[in-house]
Structure 1
Amino acid sequence: MTSPESGLSWLRPQDGASLQAMQELVAKLSELTGRGSAADGLVEVTVDNAGALSQVVIDAQAMRLGSAELSAHVLTAAKAASLDLQAHTQAVLRETYGEQALNLDAASAGDQLMNELKGMQAGLSRSLDDIKAEVSRIHAASAPSS
């Protein structure tokens, strides 16, 4: 469960509609990608929502470069893709939560949101279990004795 000191405690939904909105936000964040290029577009890199390389495209013209230069271009494109992903993440968070989202670390916001959501779901599950137990207790107490 999340602690009250969590940096994202202000994100916690107060009702079911907000919980659904947060689940939609997590889904939207999980679909984000970042793209970057280098060497005048001869090297293109895509990263997934976790920042891992998901695609590298190297134009045949770039193969004429030396290995060190080509490696440098791949790294440059990967860094640009990572920054692009962070910008997309910040934009989604800002769209959803306004200026408070500016204080979030875009690189870890998705993981933090997932942890918040898991904590809330665990709390809801415990509450439902408590309600079921109370209903069972009431039924047992009101059942006619033989």
Structure 2
Amino acid sequence: MTSEFGDFANIDIEKLLAGADQQFAKMEELQKVMADMVGTAADEREFVKVDYASEGIRELTIHPKAMRLSSGELSDIIKQVVADAAEDLQRQANEAMAEVFGEEDNPMKLINDPDAAMQQIKSAEAAYNRTFDDVMGELDRIRRRLDL
């Protein structure tokens, strides 16, 4: 038996809602995990150690021996170690997101690949346009049947 609503009449709402609930649960778990993530780094002599979290530098430890360095050398080491710790945090976030979304659907991949992000946006736009046209066509057919 075919329905005037096409495939929409065969949608399993319970399954759809269960899938949405699973995605929301995954997102909540991801938020908890990411809130506790801390990127860490140190220079090779361990003069400078940094813990870097979502709010920025959480901990900066400078060994007393580092005071023998020139201010320029120390500054360069601090900047590099902060960058390394931020990169470590980013790596952890990428891994967590890949675990939740899978490698292919990991949204973090799009950050590093603007062309892929634009392609997904264009694809989503095309799907939206097709859906909108289908819905408007169906509404027009209903309007004509009801002689409105």
Per the normalisation by structure 1, the TM-score is: 0.58
**Residues 37 and 76 in structure 1, CA contact (< 8 A), matched pair in contact too:** no
1:62 to 47, 51, 66: 66
* Matching residue of 2:20: 15
Q: Distance in 1 between matches of 2:36 and 2:62?
A: 24
Residue 39 of structure 1 deviates from its aligned partner by 4.7
Q: Distance in 2 between matches of 1:95 and 1:21?
A: 10
**Residues 34 and 85 in structure 1, CA contact (< 8 A), matched pair in contact too:** yes
* Matching residue of 1:4: none
Segment of structure 1 superposing worse, 33-42 or 86-95:
33-42
SS in 2 for 1:105: helix
Larger Rg belongs to? 2
* Matching residue of 1:105: 111
**Residues 26 and 100 in structure 2, CA contact (< 8 A), matched pair in contact too:** no
Q: RCO greater where, 1 or 2, for CA within 8 Å and sep 6 or more?
A: 1
Residue 37 of structure 1 deviates from its aligned partner by 1.2
Structure 1 49/104 Cα, relative in aligned 2: closer, same or farther at 3 Å?
A: farther
Residue 95 of structure 1 deviates from its aligned partner by 1.2
* Matching residue of 2:84: 80
Q: Distance in 1 between matches of 2:78 and 2:110?
A: 28
Per the normalisation by structure 2, the TM-score is: 0.57
Residue 16 of structure 1 deviates from its aligned partner by 2.0
**RMSD value over aligned CA atoms?**
1.9
Residue 17 of structure 1 deviates from its aligned partner by 3.0
Deviations 1:116-138 (A, max 9, x none): xxxxxxxxxxxxxxxxxxxxxxx
* Matching residue of 2:98: 94
Q: Distance in 1 between matches of 2:111 and 2:42?
A: 24
Identity of aligned residues (%): 25
- Specify the code of the residue in structure 2 equivalent to 1:103: K
Residue 48 of structure 1 deviates from its aligned partner by 1.0
Structure 1 32/90 Cα, relative in aligned 2: closer, same or farther at 3 Å?
A: same
SS in 2 for 1:84: helix
2:53 to 48, 53, 56: 48
Q: Distance in 1 between matches of 2:44 and 2:21?
A: 49
Q: Distance in 1 between matches of 2:93 and 2:25?
A: 19
